[in-house]
Chains A and B, each alone.
Chain A
Amino acid sequence: MAAGDGLISMTPTSIAVGSGTASINADGGVDFSAVTSLSLNGVFTGDYDNYLISIAPITASGTVGLRYTWRALGTDATGSDYYEQRIVADGSSATGARNGPSTSTRISTISTGRQGYSFHAYGPYLAQPTAARSVTIDSQSSALIYDIASTHGLSTSYDGITIYPASGTLTGTVHVFGYEE
């Protein structure tokens, strides 16, 4: 009944940074240090509809938004086509907020401590609007939930993604997996 492995490592065809350093590791992930932005090219293909992007561990030079844009053939999609809905659980407080349209949107927030992100991308390579969902463990206040659902409204096929902090730099590892189908 099992047809094969469920998650397939998607090695980027190439990567780019704004500043800082990054390299593709032996497992197909990307290790990066002190980058102002990191672009992964060729990680979404017609072979798979949906993807898991694992980002951990990661640190920033301050407490800022961890943002992303979809990317096609080496160019970021920076039109005002992104919306986000977030929910934050911080101690006994649970709050929500919606933002958009904007020219990029957030995966989550990021701080100087350690945290981890599972980022689900639904249909980025399909020529239809794209949805995404992050599940985050944030080390602010020791432990904090900061989850975001986001959408991008253009019916365009994207083969890559750019992640970046709203300010400062990032250090960590990112790995993209395709859900076999």
Chain B
Amino acid sequence: MAEIAGLKLIVPSSVAGSGVSLSGAKVTFTAATSVSVNGVFDSTYDNYLIVFLGKVSSDGQGLSWKLRGSGTDTTDSNYARQYLQANNTTVAGGRATGQSSIGLVPISGIQDVGTHLYWYGPAIAQPTAGRSVTAPYQSLTDYAWTHSTSTSYDGFSFIVSGGANVTGALCVYGLSQ
């Protein structure tokens, strides 16, 4: 059986946002209120992984993620999301439909935390699905989301909630097929 790498590091064609820079394939952001990454999804791979490490300037805030095509964020309200959260002994879930983003994936303002985000078929002209697995400070949150528009997207953005900003870095990987 031939061995090939199952995960491929993707170099964005460009990034956008104040305090956002690109070094090789690594997207770094410092005190950024929004981060946009272009040209990472294409027909080479169906599914993608984003590995994120960072923190926000104000605890309790989160990142609102959107798909992006040809340098423009989606403006529709076709996102639906389901979350599952454990905060000490409280386990809660919630669903929202008709949203303009996937929802506020929480990160910490106390220390850097990590997130794995999986995008399923963002460059395919069909509805897109996603899943995040997050390690916020002293809690645990998972998201599943869908975007129902049958459009091909080549990138994504996230906006920090509550007027806060974010400092950290991320990389995008394609899952070989």
Contact = CB atoms under 8 A, between A and B. Distances in A.
25 contacts: A1-B13, A1-B42, A2-B8, A2-B11, A7-B6, A49-B169, A50-B51, A50-B53, A87-B91, A96-B87, A120-B133, A122-B135, A123-B112, A126-B112, A128-B111, A131-B111, A133-B134, A135-B133, A148-B140, A151-B111, A151-B135, A151-B137, A153-B111, A180-B25, A181-B9
A46 to B, nearest CB: 13
A85 B7 contact: no
Interface of A: 1-7, 49-50, 83, 85-87, 94-98, 100, 120, 122-123, 126, 128-129, 131-133, 135, 147-151, 153, 179-181
Which one of B39, B90, B114 has the greatest number of beta carbons of chain A within 10 Å?
Answer: B114
A6 B133 contact: no
B139 to A, nearest CB: 5
B53 to A, nearest CB: 5
A179 B51 contact: yes
B140 A85 contact: yes
Given A50-B53, A95-B91, A97-B88, A120 B9 contact: no
Contact of B9 (A5, A97, A122): A5
Contacts of B121: none
B5 interface: yes
Given A122-B113, A122-B135, A135-B133, 13 more contacts: A2-B9, A3-B10, A6-B9, A85-B86, A96-B87, A96-B88, A98-B89, A120-B133, A126-B112, A131-B113, A132-B135, A133-B134, A179-B171
B44 interface: yes
B135 A83 contact: no
Interface string B79-103: 0000010111111000000000000
Contacts of A5: 5, 7-9
Contact of A149 (B11, B39, B44, B140): B140
Given A86-B140, A120-B114, A120-B135, A95 B53 contact: no
B143 interface: no
Contacts of B114: 50, 120, 122-123, 131-133
